[in-house]
Amino acid sequence: MKYILVTGGVISGIGKGIIASSVGTILKSCGLHVTAIKIDPYINIDAGTFSPYEHEVNSGTVGDIESMPFIEAFRQFQFKVKRENFCNIHVSLIPQPSATGEQKTKPTQNSVRELRGLGLSPDLIMCRCTTPLENSVKEKISMFCHVEPQQVICVHDVSSIYRVPLLLEDQGVVGYLSSRLNMPIETKSRTMLTKWKEMSDRSDRLLEQCSIALVGKYTKFSDSYASVIKALEHSALAISHRLEVKYIDSASLEPTTLQEEPVKYHDAWQKLCSADGVLVPGGFGVRGTEGKIHAINWARKQRKPFLDANSTEFDPESKHPVVIDMPEHNPGQMGGTMRLGKRRTIFKTSNSIMRKLYGDAEYVEERHRHRFEVNPELKSHFEDKGFRFVGQDVEGERMEIIELDDHPYFVGVQYHPEFTSRPIKPSPPYLGLLLAAAGKLQGYLQKGCRLSPR
């Protein structure tokens, strides 16, 4: 096992995730098996129960007090696994003030000095900059950060994030990691990177546009729905459309907002009505739930393509318990009570849009993260109205996938399909949503789930 630690310096949001993903992509293209772990530096707190608004936006850089125990753990870890099995990629900012236009290295020097003071030495310094790194700047970083010039990698702004793996590949990152970690990697042409380049080129010349209304509770920060947005982007790119996401706070769609803030109410409904499709991602708690239901009801009546990407919970004292707490979990206790991880969902019928989108599979395995479920006692009441549960768990007790009859695309899933979406292989439920929103779903299904040549 080889370990690559990606750290960040100067500012948060520097691009650690994109760098980690890009390194993983080019290593996978070499035939290596790659996995990733993201560490949220919270101690004695279950980060999975946080509202996105509760996360610290200043975390993610070396020197933050909350990350100190983790840095120390990695300092010790590098000796446990030996140097030839561990390397550190440090991502840092190279600011370029508009007043002078000069690329400044001092923040990176300070960040690397602090990292070394904590016992970690960077093997590669990934320099995030607006424009390509000048040779003199690269040599200066090499000199004052005690690395060879080839260990200083330029990651300047590019037309899309899909070009970052190609940028790293062109600067010899694979060759360096192969030598540094003693990994036998063949340098022959790689099919995966060829496909990746074709996809990157296509992303730069998209002409048609498709808009999706994202109706959620945490729409102030787009990062709150990062996985959902990426899944939408993957699917839009697969059908050669540019994605426009219309963020709508679900609470703004509710009648109380009409009374208190009518302008906000009408703006929210205008966004919803002008979208090609509707997506309602999951969210715990009562706030904004009524607005979500209004959006779903509108999509159903207007025959707008719709995807509900998770479950939610309602009033626990309701006389009509449509959504219930799972019996094996402890009601009222948030941490550690979720149904988590990969679970199998069995298709109960062959006449299902979702089954066709999954390649006519008998079952799918997707990742779950919830503690509520549809009350199985009410299953027949829904299906009598054309609200079909086409996918259930292995035991047949839990409702996993729903489809509405006589609707272009009205789908709900209990799991999180966005977690397994990839740029070259988009998530089937999301792909179905984008195809339906672009008016291409029926053609796609009739062609055996094959996209037209681009």
Measured between its terminal Cα atoms, the distance across the chain in Å is 40
What's the pLDDT tens digit per position in 213-271? 999 887 776 677 888 999 999 999 999 999 999 999 999 999 999 899 999 999 999 99
For position 298, what pLDDT does the model report?
92
Do 265 and 126 have their domain in common? Answer: no
Q: Are both 217 and 191 inside the same structural domain?
A: no
Strands 86-93 and 124-129: parallel
Structure tokens at 7: 């750290």
Determine the number of helices (DSSP H) and then strands (DSSP E) in the chain: 15, 15
- The mean of the pLDDT values for the chain is 85
Kindly give the residue spans of alpha helices, DSSP state H, lying in 5-147: 16-28, 68-81, 106-117, 135-145
Residues 239 and 292 in one domain: yes
Listed residue (174, 176, 181) closest to 1, CA to CA: 181
440 or 13, higher pLDDT: 440
In a shared domain, residues 277 and 237: yes
111 is in which domain, residue-wise?
A: 3-200
- 168 vs 20, 103, 122, 127, CA distance in Å? 11, 20, 16, 11
**41 and 68 share one domain:** yes
* Nearest CA-CA partner of 434 in 268, 233, 292: 233
| DSSP-derived secondary structure letter, 350 | S
- Same domain? 123 vs 225: no
Mean pLDDT of 367-389: 78
Whether residues 154 and 223 fall in one domain = no
Look at the alpha carbons of 412, 414, 419, 425 in this order and tell me if their dihedral is positive or negative: negative
Residues 6+ apart with CB under 8 A from 250: 215, 216, 217, 280, 288, 289, 290, 291, 292, 295
Instruction: Tell whether 235 and 145 lie within a shared domain.
Output: no
Q: Which of 200, 225, 252 is the last residue of a domain?
A: 200
Picking from 200, 217, 248, the residue at the C-terminal end of a domain is: 200
Dump pLDDT digits (tens) for 70-108: 899 999 999 999 999 999 999 999 999 888 888 999 999
Q: What pLDDT score does 219 carry?
A: 76
Q: For residue 13, what are the contacts with CB-CB under 8 A and spacing of at least 6? A: 57, 60
Report the percentage of the chain scoring pLDDT > 70: 86
pLDDT of residue 58: 47
Residue whose C-alpha is closest to residue 409's, from 428, 381, 382, 385: 428
The phi, psi pair for 236, rounded to 5°, reads -60, -40
Higher pLDDT, 202 or 314: 202
Structural domain includes residue 387: yes
Q: What pLDDT score was predicted for residue 452?
A: 60
- Percent of the chain exceeding pLDDT 90 equals 50
Residue 259 lies in a domain: yes
Inside any domain, residue 73: yes
Whether 24 and 107 share a structural domain: yes
Q: How confident is the model at residue 45 (pLDDT cuts 50, 70, 90)?
A: low
The residue to which tokens 């994202």 are assigned:
214
Does residue 452 sit within a domain? Answer: no
Q: Is residue 78 part of a domain?
A: yes
Domain boundary among the residues 139, 168, 200 is at 200
Number of domain units in the chain = 2
Q: Tell me the CATH number at 365.
A: 3.40.50.880
Residues 185 and 271 reside in one and the same domain: no
Question: 284 with 278: CB under 8 angstroms?
Answer: no
pLDDT at position 76: 96
Q: CATH number, domain at 50?
A: 3.40.50.300
pLDDT for the residue 66: 76
In a domain, 451, yes or no: no
Positive or negative CA dihedral for 231, 235, 236, 240?
positive
Q: What is the DSSP letter of 356?
A: H
- Rounded average pLDDT over 5-15: 87
Q: With contact defined as beta carbons under 8 Å apart, do 123 and 88 qualify?
A: yes
Query: Are both 215 and 317 inside the same structural domain?
Result: yes
246 and 139 in a single domain? The answer is no
Greater model confidence, 378 or 389: 389
pLDDT band at 322 (very low <50, low <70, confident <90, very high): low
